[in-house]
Amino acid sequence: MANFQQASTFLRSLGRAALPDAMRSEKYTEDDFNEGMMRVLTDFVQANYAGKKPGTYGVDYPALNRYFKEGNVVTGKGSKFSDVGALKTVLGQFDVKVNEDGSFTILDDYNFNQQDEFGNPMARQATMGDVFSRLNPMQDYRGGFTDRLYGAARMLGGVVLPEGGSNSIPIEISIPSQAMPVSTQPATASVTGPLSRPSQPSFGDLTAMIAEAAEQWLQRKKEASVGPNMGLPLG
């Protein structure tokens, strides 16, 4: 099943960025990410850092690719919308802190560095023009539909949540030292009928959501502008 955790986190982060500072959540924790992404993150951390000395260790994309035997999501050799793809596009490069009791804390900031959807460095900050050009099917484009979708989201992230900007969101995820034994896992409530799962959005739905989020962001910033330096770069 496709995992759209990155879309959920992305849209939530856009909404947070438009709020006054006093109304913003302080950070993202393990409670903010779905079961699929947390499962592969926990597997990776427990398999690679159990038994290590307390301290902080950096994790990069090659380490994730080697462990999960997947290619780079940017080059199309790995799925962006799998559990592992969600991990790589939500966290990407992050720190693992090994605690004294053997448990782990994942540390990161949710933001977007200055590169395009193909991993190429950009010489300038992304603009709204970059966002809408990727959502326009009539615009010449080197990639496929999923690249357009990812590219539009990445460009919008570069506008609203740039690396080092004030809208970056701290991430602090707690992971136990080892998997919880089956006998101690919370019991699942019994149900009389089949368990219904929340429906996953389609690619078309995601395209519409990204376009709507971009339009709403522009409108919110326009309404909030109180001086000549408050505007967004439109490209």
Beta strand spans in the chain (E):
55-59, 94-98, 104-110, 169-175
Per-residue pLDDT at 98? 98
Quick one: average pLDDT of 118-142? 90
pLDDT(142) > 80: yes
Locate 139 and state its tokens. Answer: 């615009």
Which of 131-135, 176-180, 181-185 tops mean pLDDT? Answer: 131-135
CA distance 43 to 32: 18
Per-residue pLDDT at 6? 84
Per-residue pLDDT at 57? 98
Q: Does residue 93 or residue 143 have the better pLDDT? A: 93
Q: Which of 5, 156, 144, 10 is nearest to 75 (CA)?
A: 144
Report strand pairing: 169-175 vs 104-110: antiparallel
Give the rounded percent of residues in the chain with a pLDDT score beyond 70.
Answer: 79
Q: What is the pLDDT of residues 50-62, one digit of tens each?
A: 999 999 999 999 9
The pLDDT mean for the chain works out to 81
